[in-house]
Structure 1
Amino acid sequence: MFTETSNKNVTDVQESVTEEHRKPDQADFILPILLNPNTYASKKTLAHGMLDLALLSANGAQLKLLLSNGKQQEFYMFLLWLIATSIVLQVVQAVVCVVLGLIFDINHVDDQKKAEIINNVSLAISIVVVAINVLISVFDVIST
């Protein structure tokens, strides 16, 4: 009887040790990564930044092409104004995003309203930049 009880205790201890010291499954690592909002937000922010950089580069290339063509371009002044405005607004939006990220702490109630206002300003600038770039595409810069 003593050995039967001691065997049960040894088995229980072995099971608890193996449960505590077992190697985690892949599912233990994948599930938190898929559901981690910080990881998603970081990737989304990085992708947004890369798209902004691509748009700024495209506007720079359009400006170079427009200036190299000169005034023989049909809508020269209008396109020049649109491209310059788009570039300036993109730089302003980058500054607004840096200010939003560095100065305001949304964990403080006082900063939440200000951060929300600046976030809405950033969104409005983004919408205007998209509209301007649609117009730039419509009045296409053509190489001659």
Structure 2
Amino acid sequence: MLDKIDRVFKDDKTRPITEIVNTFPRCLEKPEEIAGYKWPANTHVRISIDAIHHNNEYWEDPENFNPDRWMVEGFEPKKNSFITFGGGLRVCPGRKLAMVELVSLMALLFRKYEIDLANKEAPLKTVSALITACTELSIEIRKRN
């Protein structure tokens, strides 16, 4: 793990961690029909997480960053419309641990600090290719009383 960290970050100890994989590969084990096309077994496909997360069949106003959509009482995303750790048999084995760690980190931060976007109207600045990277996200941090 340390070798990988050193290869990616080199000697830069302050470079932000911003890269997010937005596709994942799969190989069809048996013939499948996908999007109206018949594909033979052993066909390699890439599933675009970005396309799924921006699909207006799954999401209202999908192009806008709106974390409040998760706070609506009774909200439940459609099956396979939100992919954070892959899916199916190859789902990330560290998914549950990551979720526990994320909740713990949030509790540690938010019990001591108020954290807000500096400009809630500003668009989220990202670049996408094989990965999606957030290029700028200005926040304000204040100690809680």
Query: Which gives a bigger RCO, structure 1 or 2 (Cα 8 Å, sep 6+)?
Result: 1
The TM-score normalised by the length of structure 1 is 0.23
- Give the structure with the higher percent strand: 2
- Give the structure with the higher percent helix: 1
The TM-score normalised by the length of structure 2 is 0.23
Q: Which structure would you say has the larger Rg?
A: 1
